[in-house]
Amino acid sequence: MSDWLTAPATHEVRNQAPPRTDIDEYAAHVALQDAVAVFAPGADQGRLHEIGRHVGSARFQHDALLANTVTPVLHTHDRWGHRVDAVEFHPAYHAIMGHSIARGLHTSAWADPGPGANATRAAGFLLVSHVEAGHGCPVSMTHAAVPALRRSPELALWWEPKLLSTHYDPDLRDPATKSGVIFGMAMTEKQGGSDVRANTTVATPRGEGTYWLRGHKWFCSAPQSDAFLVLAQAPEGLSCFLVPRVRPGGERNPFFIQRLKDKLGNKSNASSEIEFDETVGWLVGEPGRGVRTIIEMVNRTRLDCVIGSAAGMRQGVAEAAWHARHRMAFGALLADQPAMRAVLADLHLEAEAATWTALALAAAHDDESASAQAFRRLAVAVSKYWVCKRGPHHAYESLECLGGNGYTEAFPMARRYREQPVLAVWEGSGNVIALDVLRALSREPESLAAFDAEVSAAAGRHELFDAHLGRTRDLLRRAAADPGEAAGGARRLVEALALAYQASVLLQHAPAPVAEAFCLARLGPDRSLEYGALPDGIPIEALLERA
């Protein structure tokens, strides 16, 4: 017999982790379960476990892969030359959207309000975003459009039942014939960016609360949506308008998609440039008060950026820990080696803090008292700045735990690494958010009073927290004393506020080892810039058990 027939097979696969599939992601996410128990004790646990099993299935993971590799395609015209401005998606994308809409992850908090409603919706949104992040954009915008739309009760009366529906219908047709719709938004223009007051899109009155819109939007999220909230310059000033893709009666509204953006990540989601030319829009809210009208939509999508970043961190920890539990190096499992254990514990600590923060913020939206609204004004912006900025570095460090595998497209961490930055950029990049916090401190002092009261509830529970709280209040006093110089230190101030809030939430609600670890690793004098460089005294075993 030839030697090659008896030679050992070189293709035998050894020392590779098995596929991380058929897992109940909710059951595996201990921190999320604990946060739900605190902030939404009446949540339907069976529904959350069902979502967890679905997103942990091999089918859902494959759909996520397909939706991000067979990306949206723009068709400006049909074969006969008619303008259609249609965006085609892989069926996997529609399957993912259909699941999230059917579970009410877009508007369940509005459809069934009450204690824990927003926190429950946040938990489900976090679970689906853990595996497929891009579809979260239209889901989030549909959720966030409701409070803005309610500023015009007649419009809300017609559109809201369709927004609250759990029926996903991607066909572009007369909204009167549809039982469910999704919403997008279009604010950004090429000359203004975050400075929406520099917008040049013009709205000309045409009677009965409708306007002709003409202009160019540089970023329009999810152009396949049924309708959009749009900012444009009316005679009274910048105003908010509802712009449907199809007018009542079935006539196409002039909504010209110029191109889809070729983005770093967020590939499953279509982002576009669009032009309006005698496009019909319905005024939402008061004329000349467009920013005020749409600001609640912005704040809600900022909250979802926090939730999405927390979801990405959980995916990073889950993939890194899974790999480490199955991979041998130098005669031992990676999960048993001290250096890797420190990294995994630190990655989990960051993800757990983000999870608790996201659920606490969502729960704050179940309270419509004046103090809760004031608290949210500051807390959402502060948390959006910090949690979303922590996302990309966290994704990179998680990717590195998988070594070369993590750097390939066959594993989900490369996709996650590209995905995380959009959550920091969308709805206000770092400087925009930091300056927004300064404006809130200056113009709405009640927001600081409410924030300070919330954070101070944890005073006296840890000496490192008390010391950090003192430093944060000193930064606040300095900013108030010299507003002209405050912008230069805005990032430092917002970081301090964010860490104070995270620590406060953990000290009040999370297990003691988690809160202790956070105070030592994030507030202590020995804190490091890199994951895994932990100070003495960190309860690594307790963190790893939760990871």
Confidence bin at 219 (pLDDT 50/70/90):
very high
Q: Residue 282 forms beta bridges with which residues?
A: 210, 242
| Total of domains in the chain | 3
- Are residues 403 and 421 both part of a single domain? yes
Q: Do residues 422 and 265 lie in contact, with contact meaning Cβ atoms separated by under 8 Å?
A: yes
H or E element in which residue 451 lies: helix 445-456
Smallest CA-to-CA distance from 403 within 474, 326, 456 is with 326
**Whether the predicted pLDDT of 196 surpasses 90:** no
Percent of the chain with pLDDT over 90: 93
Rounded Cα gap, residues 455 and 461, in angstroms: 12
Rounded Cα gap, residues 95 and 433, in angstroms: 34
Rounded Cα gap, residues 412 and 374, in angstroms: 39
What are the structure tokens assigned to 21, written together?
Answer: 């599939």
Q: What is the CATH number of the domain that holds 239?
A: 2.40.110.20
CA angle 304, 310, 315 (to 5 degrees): 125
Question: How does strand 227-234 pair with strand 183-186?
Answer: parallel
Q: Residue 221 forms beta bridges with which residues?
A: 185, 271
- Are residues 38 and 64 both part of a single domain? yes
Cα–Cα separations (whole angstroms), residue 406 to 171, 315, 459: 37, 12, 41
Range of the domain at 523: 292-546
* Residue where the block lists tokens 């015009």: 152
pLDDT digits (tens, 9 = 90+) for 6-59: 556 678 889 999 999 999 999 999 999 999 999 999 999 999 999 999 999 999
How many CA atoms within 13 Å lie on the side-chain side of 455?
Answer: 27
| Domain finish residue from 289, 323, 339 | 289
* pLDDT given at position 238: 96
* pLDDT given at position 46: 98
Chain center to CA of 125: 9
| Domain finish residue from 274, 289, 304 | 289
Smallest CA-to-CA distance from 366 within 536, 115, 153 is with 115
Q: Do residues 424 and 474 lie in contact, with contact meaning Cβ atoms separated by under 8 Å?
A: no
Kindly state whether residue 343 falls inside one of the protein's structural domains.
yes
Kindly state whether residue 407 falls inside one of the protein's structural domains.
yes
Confidence bin at 209 (pLDDT 50/70/90):
confident
**Whether the predicted pLDDT of 3 surpasses 60:** no
Rounded Cα gap, residues 357 and 380, in angstroms: 10
Kindly state whether residue 414 falls inside one of the protein's structural domains.
yes
- Are residues 512 and 527 both part of a single domain? yes
What are the structure tokens assigned to 174, written together?
Answer: 């007369």
> Can you tell me the mean pLDDT for 131-148?
97
Q: What DSSP string runs through 138-186?
A: HHHHHHHHHHHHTTSHHHHHHHHHHHH--------S-GGG-S---EEEE
Torsion of CA 230, 445, 301, 359, to 10 degrees: -160
- Are residues 129 and 195 both part of a single domain? no
Confidence bin at 86 (pLDDT 50/70/90):
very high
* pLDDT given at position 1: 47
| Identity at 359, one-letter amino acid code | L
**Whether the predicted pLDDT of 347 surpasses 90:** yes
H or E element in which residue 215 lies: strand 210-221
Cα–Cα separations (whole angstroms), residue 352 to 98, 326, 346, 502, 518: 29, 23, 10, 10, 10
Rounded Cα gap, residues 467 and 527, in angstroms: 14
> Can you tell me the mean pLDDT for 2-8?
56
* Residue where the block lists tokens 């759990």: 166
Question: How does strand 210-221 pair with strand 237-244?
Answer: unpaired
The structure's pTM equals 0.96
Q: What is the CATH number of the domain that holds 350?
A: 1.20.140.10
* pLDDT given at position 195: 83
- Are residues 227 and 195 both part of a single domain? yes
Rounded Cα gap, residues 308 and 313, in angstroms: 9
Smallest CA-to-CA distance from 72 within 272, 351, 372 is with 272
* pLDDT given at position 117: 98
Rounded Cα gap, residues 403 and 164, in angstroms: 44
Chain center to CA of 411: 22
Rounded Cα gap, residues 354 and 510, in angstroms: 12
pLDDT digits (tens, 9 = 90+) for 414-461: 999 999 999 999 988 999 999 999 999 999 999 999 999 999 999 999
- Are residues 297 and 400 both part of a single domain? yes
Kindly state whether residue 70 falls inside one of the protein's structural domains.
yes
Rounded Cα gap, residues 214 and 225, in angstroms: 19
Task: Burial-class residue 521 by CB neighbours within 10 Å (0-12, 13-18, 19+).
Answer: buried
H or E element in which residue 496 lies: helix 490-509
pLDDT digits (tens, 9 = 90+) for 99-138: 999 999 999 999 999 999 999 999 999 999 999 999 999 9
Kindly state whether residue 5 falls inside one of the protein's structural domains.
no
- Are residues 351 and 480 both part of a single domain? yes
- Are residues 152 and 207 both part of a single domain? no
- Are residues 130 and 249 both part of a single domain? no
* Residue where the block lists tokens 């709280």: 469
Average pLDDT, the chain: 95
- Are residues 41 and 151 both part of a single domain? yes
CA angle 256, 257, 261 (to 5 degrees): 160
- Are residues 442 and 510 both part of a single domain? yes
> Can you tell me the mean pLDDT for 139-161?
97
* pLDDT given at position 5: 56
Q: Do residues 258 and 272 lie in contact, with contact meaning Cβ atoms separated by under 8 Å?
A: yes
Kindly state whether residue 535 falls inside one of the protein's structural domains.
yes
| Domain finish residue from 269, 289, 309 | 289
> Can you tell me the mean pLDDT for 133-154?
97
Kindly state whether residue 448 falls inside one of the protein's structural domains.
yes
- Are residues 325 and 428 both part of a single domain? yes
**Whether the predicted pLDDT of 4 surpasses 60:** no
Kindly state whether residue 479 falls inside one of the protein's structural domains.
yes
pLDDT digits (tens, 9 = 90+) for 323-339: 999 999 999 999 999 99
Name the residue with higher pLDDT: 6 or 386. 386
